[in-house]
A and B are shown apart, each in its own frame.
Chain A
Amino acid sequence: MKLLVNFSRKRGSEPIIAKAVKETGVLIMVDRAQIDPAGGQMLIDVPRESCRLVSDKMGELGADVRILEHAVTLDMSECVDCGACISVCPREVFTFDAGWRLSMKEDRCVLCGRCVPACPHRALSVLV
């Protein structure tokens, strides 16, 4: 499950990832991070069952956490199963099934956004 974490360094520089890992015992994967002196935004991946625990802990540590139910979403009524999205995705989220229908592994998505403009049919969107 993906969590989008926004934090600022106003409250002193708490190492929130390290603290959250230590205090919850949950392993956290950082998919993407953009950090500057004032704060930052991170996309992290945690096991579904620990998602609440981690998000509450990070909340306590002063971060603003959003649970992303769907990373990348497909509008089935617009998709024509061309496959233009397949090769631009760095995480191999998209493949064809045996009947040449597009299938997706959303949980692999790191919300880089590359596939959105690459789809000629405006069928893809990412929620960030």
Chain B
Amino acid sequence: MEKSIEQINTRIREGNARVVTADEMPALVAELGEQGALREVDVVTTGTFGAMCSSGAFFNFGHADPPIRMERVWLNDVEAYGGIAAVDAYLGATQQSESRGIQYGGAHVLEDFVSGRRVELHAVSRGTDCYPRRNVTTELILEDLNQAIMVNPRNAYQRYNAATNSTDRTLYTYMGTLLPGCGNVSFSGAGTLSPLSNDPQFRVTGGGVPIFLGGAQGMIVGEGTQHSPAKGFGTLMVTGDLKQMSPQFLRAATMHGYGVTLYIGVGVPIPVLDLDIVRATAVRDEDIEVSVIDYGVPSRDRPALRTVNYAELKSGQVELHGEPVKTSSLSSYRRAREVAVALKGWVEQGKMALALPTRPIDPLKAARPMRETGRSPRVQDIMDRNVVSIGDDEVIKAAAAKLLKGETNHLVVVDREGRLVGVVTTYDVSKAIVHPGKAKVVGDIMTRKVITATPDESVDIAAQKLERYNISALPVTDTANRVQGMLTAIDLGKLFGGRWRR
């Protein structure tokens, strides 16, 4: 048996379509069997509510008198992109306020508009013959705009890798607060309710399909940016009328130490046309797997510690290295359900008819990493290879002599095999000479806990270390802990200029 979209739409129009939310589907299929479920269920509604950074809206403000061709545009001091027609602008959710930093951003402007609050528009221009005005400042509410059209380049991730942190300090990331020593696991996504996990083949999910977006009826534009369904990470580009949206399903947020983001509700109604769709929508939390990624490793290809499914993640605890670790969700499962339930209501009451994609989405695509034509500089490219070292058993006076001769402020201290054991600075040596106490040899006054860099480490990572630990030099060591060079703030200054010049 198969059903057509026309049959389903007729039932919707007549108000007797059978609609269920995606979290109810697994039990229903278990009870009725696949054939039974196909007969019984017409539409499955999905939903997700979480941080979706790649979001924003186009605005048209109408013309001022005299008119202005807005070149740069700010809304509540958050810059919107003004490089489009005279009184149009695109405001991105993650753009930060000029004055309030990450406490307020594009997402907050969107929430303020949707909540009916006033927003100050400020724009500047060079002035042209047809648009003589050079600046304008006015207060607007959402109704004052001709259009406020949300267009989100990447929403509704099929699933998302969970995050943990193996380092010894707390990390503040877009996946939230990650405690040291793998102290917690943070995850995102609605699992069984997730729109794309219920249609991973993109059978009925594609351009032109009506959806729930932020409380309004919206539409799928097509595949989202970074769409990568071949790896299980499909995404959608979606659009909807901001004027119809509700703050219940659109909320600004700030990820501490990271930046601004938008929480938005997205739901896709899935017409149950055939058995394949029945099977896909019967997906359970247990069936959807993701990796737990170590965000302590600062490179693109971070290591995966293990694979987990959403049932484990939602249970509040997963095992890592044989220990139970608490989990936290960043997205709200409660609101995801509210999205699916609201969408179910619309379809049941005949307020939303379904449609098949007019533009299909490729279910086999895989996103590629960036092609980098220039190689980002490594520590070995800029480090100083003339390292002045000293043995840990040499007298302090010898260190003073070397510091004087070597025109450096840091001596690396090595053991007899040439392995790094510490660092002494001009300050350590001066102190020991001015206050001669028990300290006799370099080993008595050196710093033993040394922060180091490796030769093939990216310069950006090394720069972050200097900044974080507030130090001015990093010994560069190979895998055998032998010193290959020294990286100083001065070397970095040659590369980056300004900030690192001392």
Interface residues of A (CB under 8 A from B): 80-88, 95-96, 99-101, 114, 117-118, 120-122
Contacts and interface: CB of A to CB of B under 8 A. Distances in A.
A100 B335 CA distance: 9
Nearest to B333: A100
A57 B480 CA distance: 62
B177 A88 contact: yes
Contact of B177 (A82, A117, A122): A117
5 smallest beta-carbon distances between A and B, as pairs: A87-B184, A87-B328, A120-B253, A117-B256, A87-B326
Contact of B261 (A86, A99, A120): A120
Interface of B: 49-51, 172, 176-177, 179, 183-186, 251, 253-257, 261, 263, 316, 325-335, 337
Contact of A120 (B185, B254, B334): B254
Contact of B184 (A88, A100, A101, A117): A88
Contacts of A114: 177
A84 B177 contact: yes
Contacts of A85: 328
Contact of A82 (B256, B316, B331): B331
A82 B329 contact: yes
A87 B183 CA distance: 8
A91 to B, nearest CB: 12
Contact of B334 (A88, A99, A117, A122): A99
Contact of B328 (A88, A101, A121): A88
Given A87-B185, A88-B179, A117-B177, A81 B256 contact: no
A80 B326 contact: no
Given A100-B334, A100-B337, A120-B263, A80 B251 contact: yes
Given A80-B263, A120-B263, A121-B251, 14 more contacts: A80-B332, A80-B335, A81-B333, A83-B329, A83-B332, A84-B330, A87-B183, A87-B186, A88-B179, A88-B184, A120-B176, A120-B253, A121-B253, A121-B263
A120 B177 CA distance: 10
